Structure 1
């Protein structure tokens, strides 16, 4: 990500537990798992560096 924003996020413990387990299975950090899932749900593809960033227009 070219630009990152730090946030504090509250979520139900059960969702945290499930996401943590999925992240471990996928060999990703919890943060990377959440970003991966948000990108997928929003239809955002990973772009090569230097390409126009769709995220900036959301």
Structure 2
């Protein structure tokens, strides 16, 4: 026998429709969609609260906080640089692909037809 228990819940019609729509979009049952979304809210409770630097009175903790922010910013800067390199590489590959396609079409005598 299943460990699942039935739980009746009154919700606004608009919320039910949002759950129905999300369930269809995600190929889940309405029950599975509602259960997943409810579980996710509990997962959010486990995340640490964002720190407000105004509330940090210990200079060492403030320095640690600032260093953690700096570390995150540097990581974001590196990720952004990698993304720019990848976008450039994709542009080069697309240009090469276009060139190869034109050469093949020229060899076939068809010319390029977009």
TM-score category by the smaller chain? Answer: 0.5 to 0.7
Partner of 2:7: 7
1:32-47 alignment runs, 5 A limit: 32-43=32-43
Name the CA distance, whole Å, in 1 between partners of 2:8 and 2:40: 21
In the superposition, the TM-score normalised over structure 2's length comes to 0.35
1:11-22 alignment runs, 5 A limit: 11-22=11-22
How many equivalent residue pairs? 43
Counterpart of 1:33 in 2: which secondary structure? helix
Cα deviation 1:17-50 (Å, max 9, x = unaligned): 011000100000010001101111111xxxxxxx
Name the CA distance, whole Å, in 1 between partners of 2:11 and 2:42: 19
Name the CA distance, whole Å, in 2 between partners of 1:38 and 1:7: 12
Which runs of 5 or more residues in structure 1 are unaligned? 44-58
Q: Which is higher, the Rg of structure 1 or of structure 2?
A: 2
In the superposition, the TM-score normalised over structure 1's length comes to 0.66
More helix by share: 2
Off by >2 Å, runs of 4+ in structure 1:
none
